[in-house]
Amino acid sequence: MQQATLAIIKPDAIKKNIIGQIVRRIEENDLAVVAMKMVHLSRKMAESFYYVHRERPFFASLTQFMSEAPVVLMVLRGENAISRWRDIMGATDPAKAKEGTIRKLFGESIERNAVHGSDGPESAGFEIGYFFSAVELVR
Ligand code: CMP
């Protein structure tokens, strides 16, 4: 099934200058980048994006982190793109992520974990629409 998912290269990865290394892994795994932009999120933008986590103890720290430096936002398209991008990222906690995954390679902690990916079709719809309008998606 062809799907679209939202991918974010997070502030920790931007500061490490590894945008290209992450995009290369997306391309090598046959996912297509169909929209891309770099933005510096405000605290409010980060809070609204992670609204589902508002009750979590890490919410304040997470939204501070996500607004401390720019991020790269992408829409990825491909066969089963949602679960495939999650496999390429690895587990949320880099310490538990499999060898060769992006979070194992580049994540610093469960919070500063280099990348984000939508966790299902419903969140992908919300997350893509939050950052991109229809004319920004090339296919
Ligand atoms: P992400 O996939 O973007 O979804 C929610 C984010 O919250 C997650 O990646 C981490 O950056 C962060 N996160 C999840 N669990 C924790 C935790 N226990 N402590 C701190 N941050 C967390």
Number of domains in the chain: 1
Q: Would you say residue 139 lies in a domain?
A: no
- 46 forms bridges with which residues in the sheet? none
Domain that holds residue 28: 2-133
Report which protein residue has its CA nearest ligand 1's atom 11: 111
Q: Residues 18-68: pLDDT tens digits?
A: 999 999 999 999 999 999 999 999 999 999 999 999 999 999 999 999 999
Report which protein residue has its CA nearest ligand 1's atom 8: 111
The full DSSP string for 37-100 is EEE---HHHHHHHTGGGTTSTTHHHHHHHHTSS-EEEEEEEEETHHHHHHHHH--SSGGGSPTT
Q: Would you say residue 97 lies in a domain?
A: yes
Q: Would you say residue 9 lies in a domain?
A: yes
Q: So which residues are the catalytic ones?
A: 116
Q: Would you say residue 18 lies in a domain?
A: yes
Q: Would you say residue 138 lies in a domain?
A: no
pTM of the model: 0.98
CATH number of the domain that 21 lies in?
3.30.70.141
Q: Residues 57-114: pLDDT tens digits?
A: 999 999 999 999 999 999 999 999 999 999 999 999 999 999 999 999 999 999 999 9
In 3D, which of 48, 72, 76, 80 has the Cα closest to residue 62? Answer: 48
The answer to whether 13 touches 106, Cβ cutoff 8 Å, is yes
- The Å distance, Cα 110 to ligand 1 centre, comes to 6
Tell me which residues have their CB closer than 6 angstroms to ligand 1.
53, 58, 62, 92, 110-111, 113, 116
Q: Would you say residue 108 lies in a domain?
A: yes
- The Å distance, Cα 36 to ligand 1 centre, comes to 22
Q: Would you say residue 60 lies in a domain?
A: yes
Q: Would you say residue 99 lies in a domain?
A: yes
